[in-house]
């Protein structure tokens, strides 16, 4: 009954076997090997266009270096108030951009409200140096709150960004889960909706350590090789990432794994809906659930071996948690077993 | 005949199998899993004392974050002029320390001369803010020039550093090769000789991606968890590193692999010594060789499939390379085959 | 009718004359001259204790370098959402701290609400690296909104900060105006109420360019000389600042100038209160006023030569400005003439 | 007998009087006042073309922000090994560029040798991310060693820089002294010889605090307003700088002051040449002299009230200072009196 995070899962056998297969012999380091080339071609196929991809080691690196690629002095990234880049990366986005600010935009359940985005952007007047200058809008798909943007919502935000000369970045730590939950294609969900840079996460969904920054606009990638190396994210044996992606992206494995995680979350949601001791804090999709659970029940669940995290209530839901209750996050993964879900739901009843 | 770099090698089967073995099931993320604990205990054994270790993804990260851990405003790292941290990390050490300077110290064949170190340090007067303030001395073992410090030489440098309140850092990207070549123990080579922080590299010597920062002085590590996270080097599935180290350090595998690489280099050195078309640029040990080779011969070797890099001559050897000659670096690895060496030597004759 | 900002004023004759008086002859540079010593002693008197002071060139520098002095990796400064450090310094605080975040705390009219401060701090759990770590609380006195904290309110915030090991910083760009409006002594308003570091601004209130960072806790200043030099804020001819402070602080000139500015603001407030076309947006004290004015009236005033800025409404007052209205800031200074106020008020009637 | 530094001088009466003249009344802040405009026009005249100028508070700021304006990720500035930016700014250039490196170029007596510059640049291969990428060449005029580049020498270095797409920066902390010593015009010495950015120093030569960054190529200045504000160098009352420059640049005052300082240095040189106890360490011009003096003599001079600094011998002159001798720096200024020089020379005899 491990629902702490999808990064508590291990690696899918196909991924590890690919590492084994590619482990022998010599190959050019620093991104120049044959399997690097292969994976680049695979990304082109998946996104139905030529893209520039760069492996990095963590989602935090993918996000932070993406911002560095489009940063300007005094730069500002507009993002949701509860975004991972704003709340959970220990200031790495600010660090790698030398102080760019993550300016919070409000919006229900982890999704930026386009009206608020416009209002916040209007506070920055051109050439008014004191306020700094917006340089990017960043949204997460799936969001930190377990919700999803529709393709149309992404496109609306993209238009706001591009009208003002800002890059649109997508934090796709759970990109596969979002695709699987919406049936949108990778292209529809990203560049066709205006996304310029994608943090493509594979670690949580069956890889060991595989993240990529995907540039749909190659001009924005021009200095990225130096940005990545200076940021200590240029791995020597890039085969170790390429081999993982090679297996992950083959025959739709990635989408099947995400569908599995999403289905497990659906089963969990159903169980919560039937419980008298718990309720969803807000409606979620994909593989994250936020539940208000009676504290006593939560303690009982943990005593029985369930693992899940306390969560800070969102700023815009002050009355969410009543007395004797707590807010908790539950995350399923590609390796969640149905017995885990069933056991949890049974204890919750 | 691949002598481009030891990071052109893949991963040893034991390492990949360990990844497979640890891939199943859930485990706590961010360094809290059982195998993380196991590897920490293994490091304690190897170094014959309690140490604090932190996994990071690249050698550049290990070095840069080590410096960040001991940095002071206006900080200065004393290192050899041709050190990797000074020449080959795209400014990452400066970036992660917000501008600490790598001040060059001279010394033959990649080894800091203690007299020069003392002289350079004497240029910094206490409280004279204009010059900045030294905060660490960094040496590489094995050095970038394929040479080695003796334990006594390290201790002498350590004493200079500690007398002035500076941390002693060792870049151990090829630490195993140095140990194997000298028969010193890990403890003798490091903390017993005054090393405070070690960048412990395993990637080049049989792992996929496994680097660790080892603190012998736990006080210096106090803020490191935040430094690492802010630096985008906190991996979620730390099992993927721990599992590699687990295999790498078991039963002396790491030292056997390094011994293999060193022996291959010895054979290569012998071949070069016999050749009329090449000579060692300076005496080396461990698994790196720097050779002055007739350009025509080098071209012929490459045409036959040999891979090796051109190298910038050291600043202190201006007359090293004559007309019709070039300076080249040859690196062997744990996976170098004797046929590769023999083929190369035959072509060189 | 210049109400654009108090930094549109020039320098008081006493200040310029002091510069002339100290201009001749040689004197030790970089803070070692006799007049530097004199001013340091004057600060000790004013604050009734030994303090460590460091001149810097701008208020932005004073704030940013103060934060740098107490920063930790992944550091967080708690400040009001509309604070100058968060909104008006182009990311300088983030830049000089390598990415420390300014985390917004709510509170009416520019003053942090202690309850919200506690709630926001509670979101950071010890050792939870993902969120970063609070390192300081920063309040402005007078605030950006033209309001004031009472000494007791400062002490309450100081206690919250110190209970959690955080430094308390005060942005005193308008410190004299706050003192004058409250009749608190410099000591009462600062260290006796728990302030650790003060950005002491004199530029707006009659100097040319004179700002100082005042450390009440000398331990926090230990590395400051290097922080300041690295930050390009160590001026060579420190006499040019010391001479200004010498005149500014002599015989209570600074408090008289502030009292003048405050009185001019009071007169302006009275005029606004009598006007049918304008109202104070919220109650203010000191020398800043925020007024909702009919747009047509504002245009008429500007056409008649009045100068004042449009202002972004605070986030927590969404319905503040009605149709046909605008929010404007009016600032008086030591050199505001009564004719300016009278003329403005007359036009407003 | 103050020869410690030209920044031990005060301010010329014309400068202080200008501050007094411009002190009254209101004026637009942040660079928008009439006197700001006036000074900008004056700079255009002096340089015989339209230039973009930005006031900053220190020479360190001028240099560091200049580099920030042309920086690239992993950026490298080529400069003389003993350059002020490399040795005397506490890492500020590295700090403001987030880790750009100052790569040392050799050359006798503080002047970069063009051959060495070419050789060092050749070590950087295009696209080889490990080494980083050169982005600027910086030379000082007058140099830190009291010597001068001829206009032709500057042009030669400019050509090397521009051929490789690098900006040419000139550190002109003592620009007036260089002009006065060579009779070159400001235009000849800078943009006509290929200089793209000039740190125009006036502080040492008669101002209180007046430095400007001059962009001859406006494209390079595009982001500079944000870079300056983020760097805490945007002063509010820019009149205080403009007023200084207004007086400084009027009627050739600046060149007369520099000529005075240079002449005092010439007299000092003549005295040293006649002395049996001292000799010039190398030939200098402008207002700096480096002298090898018998230690006993130096002590005697200091006991008589002479002030001057010990100096670190240049790296390329190891045998410069014999036993019983020391290396010292002597600097004259616009306010050096002939009695000071005569007194010193008499004691030296």
**C14-41 pLDDT tens trace:** 999 999 999 988 999 998 899 999 999 9
Position C104 in a domain: yes
Closest CA relative to residue D172, chosen from D145, D208, D209, D211: D211
Q: What residues of chain C lie within 8 A of the CB of A131, using their CB?
A: 87-88, 90
Tell me which residues of chain C have a pLDDT lower than 50. none
Q: What is the CATH number of the domain that holds A286?
A: 3.90.1150.10
Confidence (pLDDT) at B118:
98
**A197 near A220, Cβ under 8 Å?**
yes
Element (H, E) at D21: helix D13-21
Query: Do D119 and D40 share a structural domain?
Result: yes
Kindly tell me if the per-residue pLDDT of A98 is higher than 90. Answer: yes
**Dihedral sign for Cα atoms in the order D127, D133, D136, D137:** negative
Task: Give me the pLDDT at residue D293, please.
Answer: 98
ipTM above 0.95, yes or no: yes
Question: The tokens of C24 are what?
Answer: 């001749």
CB contact under 8 A, A101 and C102: yes
Whether residue C60 lies inside any domain: the answer is yes
Q: Are the C-beta atoms of residues B138 and B81 closer than 8 Å to each other?
A: no
Out of A99, A133, A234, closest to residue D129 by CB: A234
- CB-count burial class (<10 Å; 0-12, 13-18, 19+) for C310: exposed
End position of a domain, from candidates B192, B217, B252: B252
Q: Is the residue at D57 inside a domain?
A: yes
Report the gap between the CA of C122 and the closest CA in chain A (Å): 9
Cβ proximity of A203 and A9 under 8 Å: no
Q: Give the residue-averaged pLDDT of A78-106.
A: 97
**Distance between CA atoms of residues B183 and B206, nearest Å:** 20
Residue that is last in its domain, among D232, D252, D272: D252
Same domain assignment for residues B167 and B295? no
Query: Which token pair is C341?
Result: 């106020």
Note down the domain range covering C283.
Answer: 254-348
The answer on A98 and A35 residing in a single domain is yes
Q: How many CB pairs under 8 A join A and C?
A: 67
Residue of chain A whose Cα is closest to the Cα of D98: A98
Separation in Å, CA of C312 to nearest CA in chain A: 6
- A193/C224 Cα distance (integer angstroms): 49
Structure tokens at C114: 């202690």
Mean per-residue pLDDT of chain B: 97
pLDDT at B193 over 90: yes
What pLDDT was estimated at residue B165?
97
Q: Residue D4: what pLDDT?
A: 96
> Could you read off the pLDDT of C244-258 as tens digits, one per residue?
999 999 999 999 999
Contacts of A277 (CB under 8 A, 6+ apart): A293, A294, A297, A348
Q: Does A252 touch chain D (CB under 8 A)?
A: no
What does the angle CA A318 – CA A324 – CA A327 come to, to the nearest 5 degrees? 50
Instruction: Judge: B92–A20 Cβ closer than 8 Å, yes or no.
Output: no
C123: contact with B, CB 8 A cutoff: no
Residue D120 lies in a domain: yes
| Chain D residues within an 8 Å CB radius of C230 | 89-92, 95
Buried b (16+ CB within 10 A) or exposed e, C71-82: bbbbbbbbbbbb
Note whether residue C2 is domain-resident: no
Nearest to B132 among D90, D100, D123 (CB): D90
Is D115 at the interface with chain B, CB within 8 A?
no
Q: Please tell me the distance from the alpha carbon of residue C247 to that of residue C241, in angstroms, as a whole number.
A: 10
Q: DSSP labels for C323-344?
A: TTEEEEEEE--TT--HHHHHHH
Please name the chains neighbouring D, where neighbouring means 3+ C-beta pairs under 8 angstroms.
A, B, C
D313 and D218, same structural domain?
Answer: no
Q: Which of B254, B260, B305, B310 is nearest to B287 (CA)?
A: B260
**A238 and A277 both lie in a single domain:** no
Touching D: C residues 208-237, CB under 8 Å: 208-209, 226, 229-237
Q: What's the Cα-to-Cα distance from C340 to each of A120, B306, C3, C34, C271, rounded to whole Å? A: 34, 84, 9, 40, 12
- Short-list B188, B237, B209, B166, CA closest to B62: B209
In order of D2, D136, D188, D201, the CA distances from D193 in angstroms are 35, 15, 6, 19
C26 and D9: CB-CB below 8 Å? yes
The beta-carbon neighbor of D90 closest among B90, B102, B130 is B130
A40 lies in the same domain as A118: yes
Tell me the mean pLDDT in the region A245-272. 98
Cβ-nearest to D57 among C16, C57, C95: C57
Cβ contacts of A64 on chain B, cutoff 8 Å: 232
Q: Does A268 reside within a domain?
A: yes
Answer whether B26 sits within 8 Å of A60, measured CB to CB. no
pLDDT at A203: 98
Distance, in Å, from the CA atom of B278 to the CA atom of B322, rounded to the nearest integer, reads: 12
As a whole number of angstroms, the longest Cα–Cα distance in chain B is 62
> Chain A closest CA to B27's CA: distance in Å?
5
Closest among A334, A330, A349 to A1, alpha carbons compared: A330
Q: Closest partner residue to B129 among C73, C129, C229, by Cβ?
A: C229
Which residues, at least 6 apart from C198, have a Cβ–Cβ distance to it below 8 Å? Answer: C169, C170, C172, C175, C190, C213, C214, C216
Domain-terminating residue out of C200, C227, C252: C252
Say if CB A322 and CB A148 are below 8 A apart. no
Query: Considering only CA atoms, which of D237, B160, D184 is closest in space to residue C12?
Result: D237
Residue B349: band (very low, low, confident or very high) from pLDDT cuts 50, 70, 90: confident
Q: Both C116 and C258 in a single domain?
A: no
List Cβ neighbours of D18 (8 Å cut-off, separation of 6 or more).
Answer: D243, D244, D246, D247
Contact D116, D94 (CB under 8 A): no
- Nearest residue to C66 (alpha-carbon basis) of C157, C169, C162, C154: C169
Return d(Cα C193, Cα C196) in angstroms, integer. 9
Q: Is residue A6 part of a domain?
A: no
Q: Is the pLDDT of residue B308 over 90?
A: yes
> Which of D9, D23, D60 comes nearest C13 by C-beta?
D23
Which of C130, C230, C234 faces B229 most closely, judged by CB atoms? C130
Q: What DSSP string runs through A302-322?
A: HHTT-B-EE-PPPTT-TTSS-
Express as a percent the part of chain B with pLDDT over 70: 100
In terms of domains, do A142 and A23 share one? Answer: yes
Cis peptide before A142 (omega within 30 of 0): yes
Count of domains in chain B?
Answer: 2
- Whichever domain contains D233, its CATH number is 3.40.640.10
What integer pLDDT is reported at residue C45 of this predicted model?
98
Distances (CA, A) of B200 to A51, B148, B186, B254: 35, 16, 11, 12
Residues 282-341 of A with CB under 8 A from C: 312
Chain B partners within 8 Å of D90 (Cβ): 73-74, 129-132
Q: Given this model, what pLDDT does residue D349 score? A: 87
* Judgement on whether residues A138 and A48 belong to the same structural domain of the protein: yes
Q: Tell me which of B101, B129, B227 to substitute to probe the interface with C (most C C-beta atoms closer than 10 Å).
A: B129
Q: Which three-class secondary structure string do you get for B103-148?
A: EEECCHHHCCCHHHHHHHHHCCCCCCHHHCEEEEEEEECCCCCCCC
| Chains with ≥3 CB–CB distances under 8 Å to C | A, B, D
Whether residues D266 and D310 fall in one domain: yes
Q: Using the 8-state DSSP alphabet, how is residue D129 labeled?
A: G
Which residues in chain D land under pLDDT 50?
none
C151: how many CB neighbours lie within 10 A of its CB? 17
H-helix or E-strand spanning residue D262: helix D253-274
pLDDT-based confidence at residue A55 (cuts at 50, 70, 90): very high
Residues C42 and C145 in one domain: yes
Chains adjacent to A (≥3 CB pairs closer than 8 angstroms) = B, C, D
Q: Is residue C327 part of a domain?
A: yes
State pLDDT tens for residues A275-331.
Answer: 999 999 999 999 999 999 999 999 999 999 999 999 999 999 989 999 999 999 999
Is the domain of D99 the same as that of D232? Answer: yes
Contacts of D67 in chain C (CB under 8 A): none
Sign of CA pseudo-dihedral B279, B280, B286, B287? negative
Q: What is the pLDDT of residue A218?
A: 85
The C-alpha of D292 sits at a distance from chain C's nearest C-alpha, in angstroms, of 23
Residues 64-93 of A with CB under 8 A from B: 64-65, 89-92
B130: closest chain C residue by CA: C229
Find where tokens 């012999």 sit. Answer: A25
Query: Using a CB-CB distance cutoff of 8 angstroms, which residues of chain D are in contact with residue B75?
Result: 91
Cβ partners under 8 Å of residue C319, min gap 6: none
**With contacts defined as CB-CB under 8 Å, which chain D residues touch C91?**
230
């Amino acid at each position: 009954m491990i629902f702490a995070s999808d990064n508590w899962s291990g690696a899918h056998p196909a991924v590890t076997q690919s590492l084994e297969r590619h482990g022998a012999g010599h190959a050019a380091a620093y991104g120049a090997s044959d399997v690097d080339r292969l994976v680049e071609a695979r990304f082109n196929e998946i996104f139905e266009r030529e893209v520039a991809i760069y492996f990095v080691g963590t989602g935090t690196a993918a996000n932070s270096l993406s911002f560095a690629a489009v940063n300007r002095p005094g730069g500002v990234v507009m993002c949701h108030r509860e975004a991972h880049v704003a709340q959970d990366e220990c200031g790495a986005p600010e660090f790698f951009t030398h102080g760019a600010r993550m300016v919070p935009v409000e919006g229900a359940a982890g999704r930026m409200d386009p009206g608020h985005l416009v209002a916040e952007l209007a506070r920055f007047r051109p050439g008014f140096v004191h306020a700094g200058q917006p340089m990017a809008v960043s949204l997460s798909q799936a969001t930190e709150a377990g919700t999803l943007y529709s393709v149309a919502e992404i496109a609306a935000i993209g238009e706001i960004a591009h009208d003002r000369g800002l890059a649109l970045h997508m934090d796709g730590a759970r990109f596969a889960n979002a695709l699987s939950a919406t049936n949108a294609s990778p292209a529809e969900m990203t560049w066709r909706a205006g996304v310029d840079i994608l943090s493509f996460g594979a670690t949580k969904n069956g890889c060991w350590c595989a993240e990529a920054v995907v540039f749909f606009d190659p001009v924005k990638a021009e200095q990225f090789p130096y940005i990545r190396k200076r940021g200590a994210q240029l791995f020597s044996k890039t085969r170790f990432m390429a081999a993982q992606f090679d297996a992950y992206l083959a025959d739709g494995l990635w989408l099947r794994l995400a569908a599995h995680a999403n289905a497990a979350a659906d089963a969990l949601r159903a169980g919560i809906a039937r419980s008298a001791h718990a309720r969803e804090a807000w409606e979620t999709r994909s593989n994250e659930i936020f539940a208000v659970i009676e504290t006593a029940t939560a303690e009982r669940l943990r005593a029985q071996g369930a693992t899940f995290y306390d969560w800070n209530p969102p700023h815009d839901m002050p009355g969410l948690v009543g007395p004797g209750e707590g807010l908790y996050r539950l995350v399923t993964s590609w390796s969640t077993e149905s017995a885990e879900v069933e056991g949890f739901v049974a204890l919750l009843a």
